Amino acid sequence: MAGVVELNGDTVGLGRSGFQALRQALQASLGDQAAERLQEAGHAAGRDVYNCFRRWLKTTTGLDDPGAIAASALGGVLSDFFQALGWGPISMNRIGSTGIAMDTAEWAEADPAAHAPYPSCHLSAGLLAGFMGALSQQPVSVMEVECRSADQARCRFLLGKPEALEAVYQAMSEGRDYSSVL
């Protein structure tokens, strides 16, 4: 179901090397503030990518309303869409009673050569929050807890209500595993 993605003014293509150059330039000039700025930019783009998803969904499935996608099929549909955009395939799984994990071993923003000290797909975290918020019609927070840029096998983004991910952040800052609070 990959289908053709229509980039008609609200969404543009950007190559992987462009992501890497942008992140490196922002980190060099802004230091730790680069992560926040990339998340802000990603969040602003999330609604546009959601609108692109709606067009793609109509073209590939005939569905006008993303809410009509069966919950059991949503992960596969989103994987097809993000893969068609060039981000890479994803899988989605429930974590505990309040969280969702989105995993990918091929995420476009990740740079395995970066050897970053912590997860670094900041633009993606913001973009996914904006996208999933538009899809669910409620606020969604996203936190990357594993990253190929940080020498891990996959990128793992946790998605959930803002208060749930605040608890995850607190637990991780205390050295606890994120799954213990979801």
pLDDT digits 0-9 by tens, 105-139: 999 999 999 999 999 999 999 999 999 999 999 99
Asked if the structure places residue 24 within a domain, the reply is no
The pLDDT of residue 111: 92
The pLDDT of residue 13: 76
Asked if the structure places residue 143 within a domain, the reply is yes
127 in Cβ contact with 40 (< 8 Å): no
The pLDDT of residue 20: 83
Asked if the structure places residue 28 within a domain, the reply is no
The pLDDT of residue 22: 87
Other C-beta atoms closer than 10 Å to the C-beta of 76 total 16
Asked if the structure places residue 25 within a domain, the reply is no
Asked if the structure places residue 32 within a domain, the reply is no
Asked if the structure places residue 15 within a domain, the reply is no
Report the length, in residues, of the chain: 182
Q: How far does CA 8 lie from the centroid of its chain?
A: 22
- pTM summary value: 0.92
Low-confidence ranges of the chain (pLDDT < 50): none
Asked if the structure places residue 145 within a domain, the reply is yes
In a 13 Å sphere around the CA of 182, the CA atoms on its Cβ side amount to 21
CATH of the domain at 145: 3.30.1380
46 in Cβ contact with 129 (< 8 Å): yes
The pLDDT of residue 17: 85
In which element (H, E) is residue 65 found?
Answer: none
Domain that residue 145 falls in: 44-180
Q: Which residues contact 169 (CB under 8 A, 6 or more apart)?
A: 143
Q: What token pair was written down for 4?
A: 């053709």
Closest by CA to 51, choosing from 108, 9, 83, 80, is 9
Asked if the structure places residue 19 within a domain, the reply is no
Closest by CA to 42, choosing from 100, 99, 108, is 108
Using alpha carbons, list the distances in angstroms from residue 143 to 9, 55, 63, 137: 28, 27, 30, 19
Count of domains for the chain: 1
